[in-house]
Structure 1
Amino acid sequence: MVAILVVFTIILFVGADLVVQWVRQRRARPVLVAQERGGGVADLLLPNLQPERFSLPGGLFFHRGHTWVNLLFSGQVKVGVDDFLQKLLGHVDAITLPPVGVEVKQGEPFVAIRQGGRTATLPAPVDGVVCAVNGELAKAPGLIKRDPYTRGWLVALRPTNLAANLPKLTVGENALVWLKAELARLQEFLHGTLTLRRDALVGATAADGGLLADGLLEHLDDETWAEFQAKFLSA
């Protein structure tokens, strides 16, 4: 009887190990297929980096540093993070906003988003004086991901040079053209410089066999994170 129990236990453990290996291989299969076909990680992201997967509300002005500007009837402007950046960011641990009364300049750093030990610094989309900040972000920084264009706004500004600033932003059809160009640039960036850990590749696999664009930056090493910052979040 004891011998039977020992044999049964061994079979149980071996079976469990085989199941775990099968699951791991199944999850990693999309990566292996891409490599066999001569492709790379970027090819797996293609289904998730189409323009229709990104929200681009009409009436908002977009800065190349992936912030948006909403002109208010009061003469102030609200500023936030666009859908492109929030999707790529992954989880957000904290957001540092400029204090009320501080003057910001278009293209200069004004907001910092922290993820673990790394920080993404965003350039101001227009010149202005900070007249309000979104206090909800202190306790719920993830709002910029869940609701980037409404509840997840960053700051309100009293613009000081709007006539000169607006021509440097995109809106409407031009914003869509710009988004498509940014997605093409991202594909090129991924092909050239992206390095992902195998653990992250497994965790990033989507149901359709591609890799999730959401949270991509979480899987970058520090060097590639810095390169993304320089290429996509600059003035």
Structure 2
Amino acid sequence: MILIGQYDSPFVRRVAIAMSFYGITFEHRPWSVFRDTAKLAPFNPLTRVPTLVLDSGETVIESAYILDYLDELAGAENALIPAAGAARREALKVCALACGLGDKAVSLVYERLLHKEKSEVWMSRCATQMDAVLDALETDRAQRDGAFWFGDKIGHADIAVACALQFAREAHPSVFTAPRWPALIAYADKFEELPEFKSFVQVFSPPPENS
């Protein structure tokens, strides 16, 4: 398999980390959606990452669908998410919140990087949405005692939250106020020390605020 995308993307990174926990080996092509558009387009007409190219040549796109495919390969007993029912819905909700956080953090980067005239309304909306998600996750996490969000082993929810949080902190240091979310920060920092997380790191360098 070939995983396309750079590890400074929280979406590419969550796929790579999940593949590591599943013991699935892959070739990595760290293509940029901007600099390597021509290379990426034949595999994904949206020119988005992550894109997973299977050994058959088939491509799977979008992190949620890639992970769904990987869960199928791993089998229900080994999957990093419950197979059905309320437990699955709860895990998917946390994943959705984390991915929404990552999406809004990426949107803020694009606004600052690509637009000479910034939309203060849009930037404020994204920042407000990020804060609201972080508040919700902080409240949820503070009520839990276990090392993992659900159950006694790491799951997609843990990986998604940790990856999104790391990206938000790196991409928006002026927006992200760490003391506001102590339980969430302490929780995510523990995962960043795991070898599966350390193996897939690319520090994000945010563009200047006024570029």
Task: Provide TM-score, normalisation by structure 1.
Answer: 0.24
- Quick check: which one's helix share is greater? 2
- Based on CA coordinates, which of the two structures has the bigger radius of gyration? 1
- Quick check: which one's strand share is greater? 1
Task: Provide TM-score, normalisation by structure 2.
Answer: 0.26
